[in-house]
Structure 1
Amino acid sequence: MADFGSRARGKRVSRGDFCAAGGCALPTVTLGMGITGGSPAEVFGSLLPQAYADMQLVPDLQTLRPRPGRPGEATVLCEPAGQWLSPRHGRLVDAAEFSPRAALRRVLRAYGAAGLTVVAAPELELYLLQRSEAGLTAATPWPGAPVRESACEPYSLERSTHFEAYFDALYAGAGSLGISLSGHLHEAAYSQFEVNFEPGEPLAQADAVFRFKRLARELAARHGFLASFAAKPFLDQPGTGMHWHFSLQRQADAWPPVFADPQGRSTPALSHFLAGLQAGGAAAMAFFAPHDMSYERIRLSDSSPTHADWGEDDRHAAFRIPASGPAARRVENRLPGGDANPYLVVAATLALGLDGLQAGVPASAGKTPAMALPRSLPQALDALADSCSLRRWLGAPLLDLFQALKRHEHAERQALADPRADWDLKHLTELA
């Protein structure tokens, strides 16, 4: 299953045990684990069982795939199930209420009830790195290779070919997992690449990003370097983004799409969707930028938006309307970093967009003080705590546990003499 940091938590089990149990058991304590393995003590007994009771991981067998490079093994995505009393909420809660994947499914059901279908396409950036006595450096394509990028080479085909063995393995592994990739390129920082995904159904796309991050890290380790999705590993280099494109269709009729009329002009619905994102953007930043390092990507901006603004084909805007024909009219959410949980990013974006469609208020133009986004994790968590919309859509248990974990991680980090070196680069480089 995906935890709040979109790391894979689970077990390796025999086929017989898996089939007999209809999945497997996992201690509920895993729901309360942060990126360092630490847990805020206050969540046990108030949100999670004090005794670390077991929950069941229920497999979604539609996601069952061969595990890349491991003949005879399969991998499957699961969601937690089981009930316990939550004193915080005064009722029995189900483990699924803490699941980012289950939260996204709830939002998508609301779109279905409204007669709408969403198409999503992510773009994911990553660094290929090595640790040395000098700290993090650009990766060499294989151990002992005589070549290393010493100056940034954006869009360099030659530099990309040095890593063809890695990307060949990455494409092959993605194919085994049912992930449709459309290409990759050298990005605007040294040793940084962007991978593009084919458009598809939002839950499947969030699954794809979750699985891709794990696959990229595993294969990089086998090739002798690191694949990192940390938001800002280098203060003087561009950050790592996870951009999502969303378009809407009506279930009864594929044409015209919701965001364009038959003449190809943007519809009021597009403006309404944007208005929902603007209204809830500050609160959603806790999901889009879930670590203290994430805000270095925002503050030290290089095409990283700082306001909940929108623009036609404007890469400095939070919400960009790419140049396209009417059938491909869409909104690109440029706020999330590569360290974000894809399920929470997509769930929050679509929930706020549906709020906007239902309210029918047009989006605000320009960049005003009211649109300023949080510049730190505590500010974003405060905004999330005040968001009635996201609490309604994603549920109080999920929001309460997420906030407790993130405040715990923030306190852990702040207690260190050099938070960036001793927390960010130690943990986020390999785990974000």
Structure 2
Amino acid sequence: MTPITPLPPIDPAQAAAALSRLGVKAVECALGDFTSLARGKRVNCDDFLSLGGCKLPSVILGLTLTAGEPDDVFGPMLPTSYIDMNLVPDLSTLAPRPGRPGEASVICEPTGRWWSAHHGREIDASELSPRAALRRVIAGFEAQGLQALVAPELELFLLHREEAEGQVALSSARAKPGALARESACEAFSLERAGHFEAYFDELYAACEALGIPLSGHAHESALSQFEVNFRPGDPLAQADAVFRFKRVAREIAARHGFLASFAAKPFLDQPGTGMHWHFSVQRRGGEGEWPHLFAHASGDSSPQLGHFIAGLQTHTPAAMAFFAPYDMAYDRIALSDASPSHSSWGPEDRSFAFRIPSSGPQARRVENRLPGGDANPYLTVAATLGLGLAGLAAGQAPHAGVDDAHALPRTLPTALDALSASTTLRELFGAPLVDAYVAIKRHEHAERSKFAEPRHQWDLTHLVELA
């Protein structure tokens, strides 16, 4: 596979014209790291154009969720001098910032070079970018004459969070401060309860329209104060960008309404967890008249390629679980399962399968990856699913059927990280610098959680409810 490469520099004239069309005076440069947080900087348009984006210290790429700096990262992989790197904008993502007249937001990727003692060579900051890794996987599809369409379904909780005597407690959200109405038991698929939050969702839909996030609907889900939003199908990179932006804007608008929007994987141990389910289809980029849909024949029967794609996922998913379930809390979602898969199973319709084949006509035949939690990084999730599916297409193996211990998935974060570290396939897909830095950061987070006062779930409620 081709190396991970930085985004090319922007054309200043093209960028100036785009900013002029939006009529903005400032630009927010947003960077996605291994977390789900947007990090970056707000700059005026003149500085944005002169710098071709903006500069930020390289320390950002090695921070844990709680701003820890692992010894295995700083020094061996990242410079301890925190040298600056450049954030290069992708102008196709430039959009007005919702609720902020005169401001725009653009998604950026990092570039800048330094020596990595751990890898014995100079590396570029782009090699630690989840977004750049996804672009690389997409390029692999294009080299095979293929393209993918993806559609996410994302669950979230609307919550109130309270602290007393060092303990964190969660409860269902009130639709506005001071309101008496509060969900006391799960009101699954309740239009009435969803109606209480219409003001929140109205503002959320408006923000998504401004940012180009293709929402198609929402509903109350099957847990206390839990909702699901659906996205229309689209290009893999654009959809990962959309989820990255959605999680942020959902949290920001919730805060203005007096409650929290949380994507934590298992905030309530006695309720279903939070999923981020992705639907994947693959099309041939062939000539006119060729049947384009790779996963099904025109007759309606599934193709062998559908099985090959799934077999690639089944073979390598134990290592990819570190991406699909990036925090210890995510393994509570698997261990205390409620339609959360614990094996690399597949089949039609059944929502307990890891890789579900929804009922559809041949033009919509697709694989639903039900393993990722709401806390997963969208770029790493899509890159891993597509990359492993592409490896399966190349290998041409048949998927295994049934559920048995031989196909069980890791049940703890350390086990998943060991599998990721040892995976030659995922190192080929993502590059050694990204895998090694990711593993070191996640091991540091796990160690920090292990030192937290019992019950350990309190670390999750303290940090993940707002940041996952």
Q: TM-score, normalised by structure 1?
A: 0.99
1:137 aligns with 2:171: yes
SS in 1 for 2:437: helix
SS in 2 for 1:259: coil
Q: Would the aligned equivalents of 2:36 and 2:467 in 1 still touch at CA under 8 Å?
A: no
SS in 1 for 2:149: strand
SS in 2 for 1:26: strand
1:45 deviates by 1.7
Amino acid paired to 1:411: A
Moved more, 341-350 or 410-419: 410-419
Q: Would the aligned equivalents of 1:321 and 1:331 in 2 still touch at CA under 8 Å?
A: yes
1:390 aligns with 2:390: no
Paired position in structure 1 for 2:14: none
Separation in structure 2 between the aligned mates of residue 143 and residue 381 of structure 1, nearest angstrom: 42
Amino acid paired to 2:70: P
1:71 aligns with 2:71: no
1:413 aligns with 2:449: yes
Amino acid paired to 2:387: A
User: Deviations for 1:128-181, whole angstroms, at most 9, x for unmatched residues?
Assistant: 001235721000000011211111111100000000000000000000000111
1:404 aligns with 2:440: yes
1:418 deviates by 1.9
- Counting matched residue pairs gives 432
Residues 94, 419 of structure 1: CA spacing in aligned structure 2 closer, same or farther, 3 A cutoff?
farther
1:72-87 alignment, distance < 5 Å: 72-87=102-117
What stretches of structure 2 of length at least 5 have no aligned partner? 1-30
1:420 deviates by 3.2
Residues 124, 310 of structure 1: CA spacing in aligned structure 2 closer, same or farther, 3 A cutoff?
same
User: Deviations for 1:221-273, whole angstroms, at most 9, x for unmatched residues?
Assistant: 00000000000000000000000000011011573410000110000000000
Q: Would the aligned equivalents of 1:18 and 1:24 in 2 still touch at CA under 8 Å?
A: yes
1:187-206 alignment, distance < 5 Å: 187-206=221-240
Separation in structure 2 between the aligned mates of residue 11 and residue 75 of structure 1, nearest angstrom: 10
User: Deviations for 1:314-348, whole angstroms, at most 9, x for unmatched residues?
Assistant: 10000000001110000000000000000000000
SS in 2 for 1:12: strand
1:261 aligns with 2:297: yes
The equivalent position to 2:243 in structure 1, one of 201, 209, 214, is 209
Separation in structure 2 between the aligned mates of residue 35 and residue 191 of structure 1, nearest angstrom: 25
SS in 2 for 1:293: helix
Moved more, 46-55 or 283-292: 46-55
1:335-354 alignment, distance < 5 Å: 335-354=371-390
1:158 aligns with 2:192: yes
1:296-315 alignment, distance < 5 Å: 296-315=332-351
User: Deviations for 1:19-75, whole angstroms, at most 9, x for unmatched residues?
Assistant: 111111100101011111111022112110121111000000110000000000000
Paired position in structure 1 for 2:203: 169
1:82 deviates by 0.5
Separation in structure 1 between the aligned mates of residue 457 and residue 390 of structure 2, nearest angstrom: 40
Amino acid paired to 2:145: G
What stretches of structure 1 of length at least 5 have no aligned partner? none
Q: Would the aligned equivalents of 1:228 and 1:429 in 2 still touch at CA under 8 Å?
A: yes
1:178 aligns with 2:208: no
Paired position in structure 1 for 2:52: 22
1:92 deviates by 0.8
SS in 2 for 1:294: helix
Separation in structure 1 between the aligned mates of residue 378 and residue 452 of structure 2, nearest angstrom: 29
1:368 deviates by 2.2
User: Deviations for 1:374-431, whole angstroms, at most 9, x for unmatched residues?
Assistant: 0000000011011110000100000000000000000001011225344100000000
1:223 aligns with 2:253: no
Separation in structure 2 between the aligned mates of residue 421 and residue 400 of structure 1, nearest angstrom: 27
User: Deviations for 1:269-319, whole angstroms, at most 9, x for unmatched residues?
Assistant: 000000000000100000000000000000000000000010111100000
1:235-314 alignment, distance < 5 Å: 235-253=269-287, 255-314=291-350
Structure 1: which 4+ aligned runs deviate by more than 6 Å? Answer: none
Q: Would the aligned equivalents of 1:256 and 1:262 in 2 still touch at CA under 8 Å?
A: no
Paired position in structure 1 for 2:4: none
Separation in structure 2 between the aligned mates of residue 133 and residue 33 of structure 1, nearest angstrom: 26
The equivalent position to 1:104 in structure 2, one of 134, 144, 158, is 134
SS in 2 for 1:106: helix
1:362 aligns with 2:392: no
Q: Would the aligned equivalents of 1:276 and 1:357 in 2 still touch at CA under 8 Å?
A: yes
Separation in structure 2 between the aligned mates of residue 144 and residue 272 of structure 1, nearest angstrom: 54
Q: Would the aligned equivalents of 2:450 and 2:456 in 1 still touch at CA under 8 Å?
A: no
User: Deviations for 1:183-239, whole angstroms, at most 9, x for unmatched residues?
Assistant: 000000111000000000000000000000000000000000000000000000000
CA RMSD, aligned part only?
A: 1.0
Identity %: 67
Separation in structure 2 between the aligned mates of residue 143 and residue 384 of structure 1, nearest angstrom: 44
